Amino acid sequence: MNLTRRQLVALFRAETKLLTRNSTVAATALVFPVAMAVFMVLYSRDNLGALGWALPVALQVLLIVGMTVYISTTLALTARREDLYLKRLRSGEASDVVIIVGISSPLIVLGLLQCVLAVAVVWVLGQGRPHNVPVLALAVVLSVAMTATLGFATTGLVSSTQQADMAGLPFFLFLLVTGIWGATNGAEGPTVEQLWTPGGAVVDLMRIAYDGTSSFSEQLAASPPAVLVLLAWTVVGAVAARRLFRWDRRVG
């Protein structure tokens, strides 16, 4: 256990150094969610629909997990595989899971921090206070887990970082489109068909978290369907990653 922890920490530190080496990238990683949240507050303050602040927050979370976690994880793992870094790591003592999680963990942590920043800005500037923080936290954590595992799977489908950009675009757009679609039913929540999509499930959890008309216990009781949907998508990503992930360069 101690060895595994040391390996994870070592990989986390190494990847974090690579991530922060470019000051422009590091600054953008923090400025982007704050700027986006400020824009959402200014735009939505006088244009809130039936879902209130739930929809702007849900769209921000979907943008962040789609870009920072899903696409960036796909790019990072593809790049490490192409320069044979993954293959070299695999020849050491670290297990496969430790290697994958260790390399992707800085992006996962960054995605979580960006979501927290976005929620905080909406809370402070827009007075968009969530009424059920545990449900909100579940939505964020499960969204990050889902997009991370799907990123692990997607990297197995591409041969280069250039292809990874394009390969990640369909699911990224799917996240956003299904989120917008899931909001079309307003305060009643997504329909069954909408709820089965990842975007629809995130919107539903945000709707529950920002609903000021029901009690805390009622909100908790209403959350399991969307939670199970996000867990199902995470399992799909994990199974796909197990089948598709490659440790050596992919040809063609």
Assign 3-class secondary structure to 93-127. CCCHHHHHHHHHHHHHHHHHHHHHHHHHHHHHHHC
pLDDT at 168: 86
Which amino acid is residue 167, in one-letter code? A
pLDDT tens digit at each of 252 positions of the chain: 565 777 778 888 887 887 777 666 666 667 777 787 788 777 777 677 777 888 889 999 999 999 889 998 898 888 888 888 788 878 877 788 888 888 888 999 999 999 998 899 888 887 778 899 999 999 999 999 999 999 999 998 888 877 877 888 899 999 999 999 999 887 888 899 999 999 999 999 999 999 877 888 888 888 999 999 999 999 999 999 999 888 887 665
Element spanning 133, H or E: helix 133-154
**Closest C-alpha to 171, from 155, 187, 191:** 155
* Distances from the Cα of 145 to the Cα of 2, 112, 184, angstroms: 24, 10, 25
Which residue do the tokens 């292809």 mark? 163
Using DSSP's 3-state secondary structure scheme, residue 3 falls into: helix
- Domain extents in the chain: 2-244
